[in-house]
Homo-oligomer: A and B are copies of this chain.
């Protein structure tokens, strides 16, 4: 974890068909770049040597590149198992230079963290020195860490000379029918999404980046997520805390990414970036658990065990929204999949990248848990459109509340020597 030069893994390809120390998960990399057995497959070209981490956790050596010059990692990257999201505001009196320095320091540090390195000495020689790195991720390896940095709409004002740089599509989300937003979990001028296969690695990244921001940016809200809820066809579909598979029809092909995720309009600094919508969605778990499964299935439009659309037999059957039985639609038009389907929304799709969260018990001693919904799209209006529809008639609304919300512009990844958002200031 210290900043030693990269070395060849000692045991790569020691077993027959796959390297030891890399689990099968490491082989299901989908369309994004990643490390297998020590070689970094750069999403945007560029081949780095990986580092061998002596470790009993088979995912710890997985490593993604940062300086690709293309899209930031953590969007197309196959969802890691854990995430930690944190929103920040710039501190009072800070300037454009402060913001630039923070973005530059964060970028350099994210690159080091994603390579499995510390971001400073854990044990400085001077006896009065404070550590550069808090140390709790020592020995845990990169663990597939990605940190994705976003810029909120409120950042684009006179304080930082950015008023004219705001992309037209980056506007605060309107009030949506399902909103029960709490100020304590809403908004933010900067956002960090850390995802990793080890929760301590994700926690450490956010903690040390927040620490680095002290005096420049203040923390606003945070959510820790586990057990990714959305995956797509390259991974076995995980389940949300309602017990249903989540992510069956997620965006997965390069064509879909081009068409729905990557920005190719507006200001040059955002080309190749994406817009990130974060929603903290509380589930009324104990009320849901008391609902008959037959009704739960009508709410989602899918079966619970298999995850098949009610019109089909297996999970990946295409839903047939026209199918009828006894004169009624087999998939209720008010079901979640009917309302959210691209077939019923002018072809619009968004990339979902959600995680489950738990906040313990609420004031009524009921389980407080839900979905850390994160989605990427090349136009936030797509989310607004879908959520407006879902929020007005979705039967799921009986069981969920949107209590947190934020929107960020996620610029493309820098090339080596650059930093995220640098082109904003040129």
Give the B-binding residues of A (Cβ under 8 A): 15-17, 21, 23-25, 28, 55-58, 82, 122-124, 126-131, 134-139, 198-200, 203, 207, 210-211, 218-224, 226-227, 235-236, 238-244, 285-286, 289-294, 296-297, 303-305, 356, 358-361, 365-367, 369
In the docked arrangement, what's the CA distance between A137 and B304, Å? 12
Interface centre among A28, A138, A285, A297 (most CB of B within 10 A): A138
Q: Which 5 A-B pairs have the closest CB atoms?
A: A135-B243, A200-B227, A127-B294, A199-B226, A24-B56
Does the CB pair B361–A293 fall under 8 Å?
Answer: no
User: Contacting A220 at CB < 8 Å: which of B16, B297, B365?
Assistant: B365
Does the CB pair B292–A138 fall under 8 Å?
Answer: no
In the docked arrangement, what's the CA distance between A58 and B297, Å? 31
In the docked arrangement, what's the CA distance between A308 and B369, Å? 40
Does the CB pair A227–B207 fall under 8 Å?
Answer: no
Q: How many copies does the complex hold?
A: 2
18 contacts between A and B (CB under 8 A): A23-B23, A82-B199, A82-B226, A122-B243, A122-B305, A124-B293, A127-B292, A129-B292, A129-B294, A130-B289, A131-B293, A131-B296, A135-B304, A135-B305, A136-B240, A138-B239, A138-B305, A210-B367
From DSSP, what is the main secondary structure of chain A's interface residues? loop
Does the CB pair A200–B223 fall under 8 Å?
Answer: no
Does the CB pair B203–A293 fall under 8 Å?
Answer: no
Does the CB pair B360–A224 fall under 8 Å?
Answer: yes
Could you tell me the distance in whole angstroms from the C-beta of A83 to the nearest C-beta in chain B?
12
User: Nearest B residue to A184 by beta-carbon distance?
Assistant: B361
Could you tell me the distance in whole angstroms from the C-beta of A304 to the nearest C-beta in chain B?
5
Could you tell me the distance in whole angstroms from the C-beta of A235 to the nearest C-beta in chain B?
7
Does the CB pair B130–A367 fall under 8 Å?
Answer: no
Task: Known A304-B131, A367-B210; judge A56-B236 contact (CB<8 A).
Answer: yes
> Across the interface, which residues of B come within 8 angstroms of A244, CB to CB?
135
Does the CB pair A198–B227 fall under 8 Å?
Answer: yes
User: Nearest B residue to A121 by beta-carbon distance?
Assistant: B293
> Across the interface, which residues of B come within 8 angstroms of A207, CB to CB?
285, 367
In the docked arrangement, what's the CA distance between A46 and B373, Å? 45
In the docked arrangement, what's the CA distance between A286 and B134, Å? 10
Could you tell me the distance in whole angstroms from the C-beta of A395 to the nearest C-beta in chain B?
16
In the docked arrangement, what's the CA distance between A361 and B219, Å? 8
In the docked arrangement, what's the CA distance between A363 and B296, Å? 37
Does the CB pair B227–A199 fall under 8 Å?
Answer: yes
User: Contacting A294 at CB < 8 Å: which of B128, B222, B240, B242?
Assistant: B128
In the docked arrangement, what's the CA distance between A57 and B197, Å? 11
In the docked arrangement, what's the CA distance between A22 and B285, Å? 33
> Across the interface, which residues of B come within 8 angstroms of A123, CB to CB?
293, 297, 303-305
Does the CB pair A236–B139 fall under 8 Å?
Answer: yes
User: Contacting A365 at CB < 8 Å: which of B219, B243, B358?
Assistant: B219
User: Nearest B residue to A360 by beta-carbon distance?
Assistant: B222
Does the CB pair B356–A200 fall under 8 Å?
Answer: yes
> Across the interface, which residues of B come within 8 angstroms of A139, CB to CB?
236, 239
